[in-house]
Structure 1
């Protein structure tokens, strides 16, 4: 009887250890845990919806995205936003406050700006109705705007000194990073405590910094020439990926991305999509 007692206790401890190993560890922050589960379920639901909608044919999804302007909007916005002022604003705010709140405020501003830009593009296309039967004014204006930004991006990139070709952070004294730092210091003079304050400050800083920016005008141009739904969804997706990169590793990317390379790549993409719009590829 004296031997059985310790053996039973050892057996109980062993079973408890086994259950601890087998059961998944739930994070102490239950809200973030539930948000992660919800995000995964949402992605699964979207994937299933696409599969059912297009009867399980991935090529149909790719073809639809290409025709709608999704691909053009996604590529242009993503490349334009890397190293942009709003990119660094999101990165700087994420270093001080909760990343999820900064992402929420930034994406609300960028999504609203995208929708407004697409609406402006559609209105611009529908204004000269008397010319629509003979001359596609909206498409030609979109081509001109995309080509202008393409040549300007290449010209600005080639004009950069060799010292700024190393990384985005190397030209921080006079570049987008310096402007973002100055704006954040000026507008965020006191520590934000409420989550609503963080969301609102992120929204307002990104929205007004994005107004009149190259990516906004590019969205207007694409919205005038392509499907508004495709352009809006592609642009928002491009903003989302770029903003996530900024929030998670903006400082790291600034050290290793070449400003000249980003400018040249963006300019070439603008010219490619200008030619594609001109010849009716999309």
Structure 2
């Protein structure tokens, strides 16, 4: 579920575009770290939910979330055409404006490359304090707030084994982000948002039906 939700998500496109402009290992480390932290936090919230709300209500809320997200994704899929990804262009425009706002114009590319070459000679842990790592981390972390995959993770952890939810979510996030970083913009531009939205919608509906037919323990 997380894989289908994330493969055409805004954070997927952001990772692909950032990997075209900055060292891939720093982008990958920042993006994956943010998504792992968000997955653990979301699962923790879901795990704590039954202690605040009865198990019966959390089960019903999770079922409604699945059906709601499924219908939402199907609606998005039917609305979208078969053209190029509008979200990819939107994310790219946001990153471009962010670079200009921070004074990261193309004239600074040479000095930026030199700085990164110097950083590669430093100890491995010190590279985590790189502005590129922090930028990739913040974009993906805050980009996940309110996302379907985050809310679905909370719902799943409230109704299922939270350790399994965390493991499945982290593996899916790692696969999607690695594909985005390695494949780059060319891979992102070939993804059909309509197919992804329809597939994700059907998957959410299936999980909703499974949750509806499952009795509350």
Indicate the TM-score class for this superposition, using the shorter chain for normalisation.
0.7 to 0.9
Q: Is the 8 A contact 1:122 1:224 kept in 2?
A: yes
Show the counterpart of 1:157.
77
Q: Is the 8 A contact 2:19 2:184 kept in 1?
A: no
CA separation in 2, counterparts of 1:180 and 1:115?
25
Q: Is the 8 A contact 1:157 1:260 kept in 2?
A: yes
1:247 has 2:172 as partner: no
Offset from partner CA, 1:163-207 (integer Å, 9 cap, x none): x314xxx133xxx21332133223343265454221111101111
Structure 1 125/183 Cα, relative in aligned 2: closer, same or farther at 3 Å?
farther
Which consecutive residues of structure 1, in runs of 5 or more, have no partner in the other structure?
A: 1-75
Q: Which runs of 4+ in 1 moved over 3 A?
A: 186-189, 191-195
Show the counterpart of 2:91.
180
Show the counterpart of 2:44.
119
- Which residue, out of 66, 73, 93, partners 1:146? 66
Show the counterpart of 2:32.
107
What is the number of residues matched between the two proteins? 192
Structure 1 114/242 Cα, relative in aligned 2: closer, same or farther at 3 Å?
same
The structural deviation recorded for 1:251 is: 2.1
TM-score (norm 1): 0.64
Structure 1 142/250 Cα, relative in aligned 2: closer, same or farther at 3 Å?
farther
CA separation in 2, counterparts of 1:115 and 1:221?
13
- Which residue, out of 122, 129, 134, partners 1:200? 134
Q: Is the 8 A contact 1:85 1:180 kept in 2?
A: yes
Q: How does 1:33-112 map to 2 (within 5 A)?
A: 76-112=1-37
1:211 has 2:145 as partner: yes
Q: Is the 8 A contact 2:88 2:189 kept in 1?
A: no
Q: Is the 8 A contact 1:87 1:250 kept in 2?
A: no
The structural deviation recorded for 1:214 is: 1.2
Show the counterpart of 1:9.
none
The structural deviation recorded for 1:244 is: 0.8
The structural deviation recorded for 1:249 is: 1.1
Offset from partner CA, 1:31-87 (integer Å, 9 cap, x none): xxxxxxxxxxxxxxxxxxxxxxxxxxxxxxxxxxxxxxxxxxxxx111111121100
TM-score (norm 2): 0.82
The structural deviation recorded for 1:250 is: 3.6
Decide which moves more: 193-202 or 94-103: 193-202
Offset from partner CA, 1:104-159 (integer Å, 9 cap, x none): 0001100111111111112222212xx44xxx111111111111000110011112
- Which gives a bigger RCO, structure 1 or 2 (Cα 8 Å, sep 6+)? 2
Which consecutive residues of structure 2, in runs of 5 or more, have no partner in the other structure?
A: 120-126
Structure 1 277/121 Cα, relative in aligned 2: closer, same or farther at 3 Å?
same
